[in-house]
A and B are shown apart, each in its own frame.
Chain A
Amino acid sequence: QKEVEQNSGPLSVPEGAIASLNCTYSDRGSQSFFWYRQYSGKSPELIMFIYSNGDKEDGRFTAQLNKASQYVSLLIRDSQPSDSATYLCAVNIPTNSGYALNFGKGTSLLVTP
């Protein structure tokens, strides 16, 4: 089983703080990594992807990847109540027929005013 692990939370942060969401994965052959945001009752929405070790910034979001440690994280700066959602980590794993995207169970984030 190709595992993607996330702390289910809830992670509670005050408005304006940095939220740090973490994810570990088991398959060293994983090539690409994605973060999705999912509001309650809605479908997942892609917010970030990262392929290379290091940091990738997009507005208030920073994705961090460390392939040696099999660890990927998402930082949300200046957190807003509208960021309250479940954040899904997804890892693209090579298969015989291409790639399969494996999702974690998600981390619930609550940003309090």
Chain B
Amino acid sequence: GAVVSQHPSWVICKSGTSVKIECRSLDFQATTMFWYRQFPKQSLMLMATSNEGSKATYEQGVEKDKFLINHASLTLSTLTVTSAHPEDSSFYICSAPISGGLNYGYTFGSGTRLTVV
């Protein structure tokens, strides 16, 4: 089945540094990738939608200059958390629609646990 591989699974970084998270679609082309953030005991909150070859669309309240998204190919989307601070510590997870487009069905990456110290 359609699989999205997400790396790293966990990362600890110092405050002020940047962290890149990668999501690769295996055996299918992901023209769209959704990026979510999940704080402990909370739901998945959509941060942004990336589309291959175009600029990402950010949800209200999400700083586009802080959370840089790149979707340069049909199989790779990246999220870079720039100048990370402790409040950015969270579980980040990507998701891509399957079944030939946005017509239902999603596959999720395994998530990245980011801890900023």
Question: Do A and B belong to a common assembly?
Answer: no
Point out residues on A near B: beta carbons under 8 Å: none
Point out residues on B near A: beta carbons under 8 Å: none
